[in-house]
A and B are shown apart, each in its own frame.
Chain A
Amino acid sequence: MVIFGMMFYLFAGLTLLSAFLTLIARAPVHSALWLIFMFLNGAGLFVLLGSELLAMIFVIVYVGAVAVLFLFVVMMIKPQREVLKKEIKWYKRIPVLIGIFFGSEMVFILGGWSFVPVASTLDQLPSRVQISNTTAIGNILYTHYAVLFEIAGFILLGAMVGAIVLTKRAPKERYRQKMSDQVLEKKKNRIKICHVDIRKGV
């Protein structure tokens, strides 16, 4: 039990630390790396809770896919640090305020947390002892929440199509002969008849 507690504080502390470092790191690459470290620690916390599936998903999805993509993007963008810094300076104070607000709130709430007696009966998850939690999640996700699972699919579809639509630019106009346009061109669009007085110009 002691080791369990120690591991919890280790992971939790490292999560907080790396989250903090993500924010203050100067180079974007460092930020991304700290983010990855934070995800790993988060996965560790899940392992401690006994939900190894979520821990694996955390690592695979967030670290393997999201964060690595971040790194790619970061490497492709040339950051203009000095310009950004001046503008951002003032705004830095606001997150601090929000952080203090949220932190004190969490202390306030969790300090005296207790469950309503009825609450435990409403719990949808089966007991962890009997089946593995992969099975449990599978059971509930594909039966009870099957519809929501489908909606999530739609959300991803929407996000994907949206991303493509928004990033796709129309191909640049190439100077090419368009027969149909030439044939269909009207006189009035092209030719303007002016009655010019002598020695006045147009």
Chain B
Amino acid sequence: MGTILRDLLCFIPELTLGGLILIFLGGAVFLKKETQGSVLFGKVMFGVLGMVGILVLLQNLEPLYIFNRLFISDTYTIFVKVLVLSITICIYSFSFSSLKSEKVIGVELYVFILMALLGMFMVIGSNDFLSFYLGMELQNIAFYVLVSFKKDSLKNNEAAIKYFILGVVASGIFLFGASLLYGAVGSLNFQDIGNVLGASTLESSSGIPYALFGAGVGLLFIMVSFLFKVSIVPFHMWAPDVYEGSPLPIVAFLAFAPKVVILSVILRLWALLFSETTVFVASSVLKVFPPMIMGASLLSIIVGTFGAFGQSNIKRFLAYTGISHMGFVVLGISLGNYSGMHAALVYLLSYIIMGIGFFASLGALRYPPGFSRIGIVKDLSDLKGLSKTHPGMSFSLAILMISFAGLPPLIGFFSKLYLLLSLIETGFVGIAILGGLSSVVAAVYYLRIVKDLYFEDAEVSLEVVTPLSFFIPLFLSLGGTVFFCIYAEPVLLYVSILMKMLLGR
């Protein structure tokens, strides 16, 4: 009983989330009007999310395997959970009023946000492909519903169907890979897989390389489904369409939280199976993985960079830039050494910091009443001349764009610095140059936005809604973007501790 109690204690945040889902669902029944419920829950949400955050922070920092090693709880999982939770809080804080303007509001919204959060916590803590799969499905189901919340819009329906079908395909591919892996290795536990693969190479002279082959194919399928979720080329097609069709706050949620979660698991697996410390990679079929993933990430940098060129819709633009940024992150991971993974996590953090600010400021920009379009700003060309009417907002947008472009002295520069440095350290000078040049190309369209903001005259005079809830995430993000160069020490040190822990150094 002692272990069960300990396991349950480690699981308190998840249990709380689950309980809250049930309370919200049950409470919604007893509320008279639907609007009443959404207002009430909307206010309660901050407290709820904050409470979960505190519960996560209270967790034990020592690594613990819980529930028969199905889950793991250590510093890394707590870090990622806090990260995901803060993303959720930031996005939630500006999504509340923008969802109102998109006419998407309802009690269920909060339930599904919590449900997605629960799923993501499961995925982060998973130490077994089975628990990973169930967590991912929970998260997916919640996201399918969130994406298709704007029932009356045809575009939204299209996006929802696309997201659903491709998500299910990715899940299917994952399951196929997982079953092959189970067939070959006999377990789905991360550590067991690592151990068995390690042991099998040592005995591979006695003629059992095929099991490893099966495991390799299985892992390949699993990786493919991961890349699907992170939208890495060639599995990126869904991102632009889905982003375009969904409400902006949901896109913000979709663009960061699930990607962070999946990337955190990829990092853990990569450290376990493909890092420089694992000896068996070099002598087996698994050795094709790092170059393969690296190729995919390079492709997605290039495709994302050039794809963003012709985009006029803001959300499609964001999707393509997201593809290229994720390419940079995965490029770092694929190096498989300490500096590469460190750089990848720093890059991911910087992308989140900048992206949240960008989404928050976009969410605050509305078409004026009486204009032919309504709601949140949709086209990049509508940003023209914003500096004349809203200098503060356009200033912050310009700073974020410059940071996205990777120009010093903002955070985007430092993340690229760490990444390129790790590439050069590992000996890929050519790829570093390619990455640098692609960021020059990317600078073209980021600066085109700055040009639109400052050099052009306004066609539409946009309105800026100014509740505090928009400005807190925006200020946090701007602060992080600008002041990273001055005081980055705690973040960088913490990330390096995490990576050293993952790599077992």
Decide: B118 and A154 in contact? CB cutoff 8 A. yes
Decide: B138 and A151 in contact? CB cutoff 8 A. yes
- B-side interface mostly: helix
Q: B135-157 toward A: CB 8 Å interface, digit per residue (1/0)?
A: 10110011011001101000000
Query: How far does the alpha carbon of A60 sit from the alpha carbon of B115 in the complex, in Å?
Result: 29
Contact partner of B122 (CB less than 8 A), chosen from A119, A151, A158, A162, is A151
Query: How far does the alpha carbon of A144 sit from the alpha carbon of B3 in the complex, in Å?
Result: 13
Query: How far does the alpha carbon of A166 sit from the alpha carbon of B109 in the complex, in Å?
Result: 11
The answer to whether A61 has its CB under 8 Å from any CB of chain B is no
Give every chain B residue within 8 A of A77 (Cβ-Cβ). Answer: none
Decide: A109 and B112 in contact? CB cutoff 8 A. no
Give every chain A residue within 8 A of B212 (Cβ-Cβ). Answer: 116
Decide: A158 and B186 in contact? CB cutoff 8 A. no
Q: B240-270 toward A: CB 8 Å interface, digit per residue (1/0)?
A: 0000000000000000000000000000000
Decide: A148 and B186 in contact? CB cutoff 8 A. no
The answer to whether B25 has its CB under 8 Å from any CB of chain A is yes
Chain B interface residue count, Cβ-Cβ cutoff 8 angstroms: 48
Query: How far does the alpha carbon of A118 sit from the alpha carbon of B138 in the complex, in Å?
Result: 32
Decide: B144 and A109 in contact? CB cutoff 8 A. no
The answer to whether A123 has its CB under 8 Å from any CB of chain B is yes
Give every chain A residue within 8 A of B200 (Cβ-Cβ). Answer: 116, 118
Q: In the complex, what's the smallest C-beta–C-beta distance from A161 to chain B, in angstroms?
A: 6
The answer to whether B196 has its CB under 8 Å from any CB of chain A is yes
Decide: B130 and A169 in contact? CB cutoff 8 A. no
Contact partner of A119 (CB less than 8 A), chosen from B21, B70, B184, B213, is B184
Contact partner of A148 (CB less than 8 A), chosen from B112, B130, B189, B217, is B130
Give every chain B residue within 8 A of A154 (Cβ-Cβ). Answer: 18, 21, 115, 118, 138
Closest to B204 in A: A116
- Knowing A113-B210, A147-B67 touch, does A166 contact B148 (C-beta < 8 A)? yes
Contact partner of B131 (CB less than 8 A), chosen from A109, A121, A122, A148, is A148
Closest to B130 in A: A148
Decide: B217 and A105 in contact? CB cutoff 8 A. yes
Give every chain A residue within 8 A of B122 (Cβ-Cβ). Answer: 151
Contact partner of A159 (CB less than 8 A), chosen from B21, B118, B141, B192, is B141
Q: In the complex, what's the smallest C-beta–C-beta distance from B219 to chain A, in angstroms?
A: 13
Decide: A115 and B211 in contact? CB cutoff 8 A. yes
Decide: A116 and B184 in contact? CB cutoff 8 A. yes
Decide: A122 and B186 in contact? CB cutoff 8 A. yes
- Knowing A152-B134, A158-B141, A166-B145 touch, does A119 contact B18 (C-beta < 8 A)? no
The answer to whether A5 has its CB under 8 Å from any CB of chain B is no
Decide: A114 and B145 in contact? CB cutoff 8 A. no
Give every chain B residue within 8 A of A118 (Cβ-Cβ). Answer: 186, 195-196, 199-200
B residues 123-177 near A (Cβ < 8 Å) are 130-131, 134-135, 137-138, 141-142, 144-145, 148-149, 151
Query: How far does the alpha carbon of A145 sit from the alpha carbon of B448 in the complex, in Å?
Result: 54
Give every chain B residue within 8 A of A151 (Cβ-Cβ). Answer: 122, 131, 134-135, 138
Give every chain A residue within 8 A of B148 (Cβ-Cβ). Answer: 166
The answer to whether B87 has its CB under 8 Å from any CB of chain A is no
Give every chain B residue within 8 A of A121 (Cβ-Cβ). Answer: 186
The answer to whether B71 has its CB under 8 Å from any CB of chain A is yes
The answer to whether A103 has its CB under 8 Å from any CB of chain B is no
Decide: A116 and B145 in contact? CB cutoff 8 A. no
- Knowing A118-B199, A119-B186 touch, does A155 contact B137 (C-beta < 8 A)? yes
- Knowing A114-B208, A117-B203, A165-B145 touch, does A155 contact B134 (C-beta < 8 A)? yes
The answer to whether B187 has its CB under 8 Å from any CB of chain A is yes
The answer to whether B180 has its CB under 8 Å from any CB of chain A is yes
Query: How far does the alpha carbon of A144 sit from the alpha carbon of B210 in the complex, in Å?
Result: 30
Query: How far does the alpha carbon of A105 sit from the alpha carbon of B111 in the complex, in Å?
Result: 42
The answer to whether B68 has its CB under 8 Å from any CB of chain A is yes
- Knowing A109-B217, A165-B145 touch, does A116 contact B115 (C-beta < 8 A)? no
Query: How far does the alpha carbon of A70 sit from the alpha carbon of B494 in the complex, in Å?
Result: 53
Q: In the complex, what's the smallest C-beta–C-beta distance from A56 to chain B, in angstroms?
A: 21
Q: A80-92 toward B: CB 8 Å interface, digit per residue (1/0)?
A: 0000000000000
The answer to whether B74 has its CB under 8 Å from any CB of chain A is no
Q: In the complex, what's the smallest C-beta–C-beta distance from A51 to chain B, in angstroms?
A: 15
Decide: A158 and B70 in contact? CB cutoff 8 A. no
Query: How far does the alpha carbon of A173 sit from the alpha carbon of B195 in the complex, in Å?
Result: 64
The answer to whether B185 has its CB under 8 Å from any CB of chain A is yes
Give every chain A residue within 8 A of B21 (Cβ-Cβ). Answer: 154, 157
Decide: A162 and B217 in contact? CB cutoff 8 A. no
The answer to whether B214 has its CB under 8 Å from any CB of chain A is yes
- Knowing A148-B70, A154-B21, A166-B148 touch, does A161 contact B108 (C-beta < 8 A)? yes
Decide: B142 and A165 in contact? CB cutoff 8 A. no
The answer to whether A120 has its CB under 8 Å from any CB of chain B is yes
Closest to A115 in B: B211
The answer to whether A112 has its CB under 8 Å from any CB of chain B is yes
Give every chain B residue within 8 A of A169 (Cβ-Cβ). Answer: 151
The answer to whether B106 has its CB under 8 Å from any CB of chain A is yes
Known pairs A124-B187, A162-B142 / 16 extra A-B pairs, C-beta < 8 Å: A113-B210, A116-B199, A122-B187, A122-B189, A145-B130, A147-B131, A148-B70, A154-B18, A155-B137, A157-B25, A158-B112, A161-B112, A161-B145, A162-B145, A165-B106, A166-B145
Could you list 12 A-B pairs, sorted by A, with CB under 8 Å?
A109-B180, A109-B210, A109-B217, A112-B210, A112-B213, A119-B185, A147-B70, A155-B141, A158-B141, A161-B112, A162-B145, A165-B145
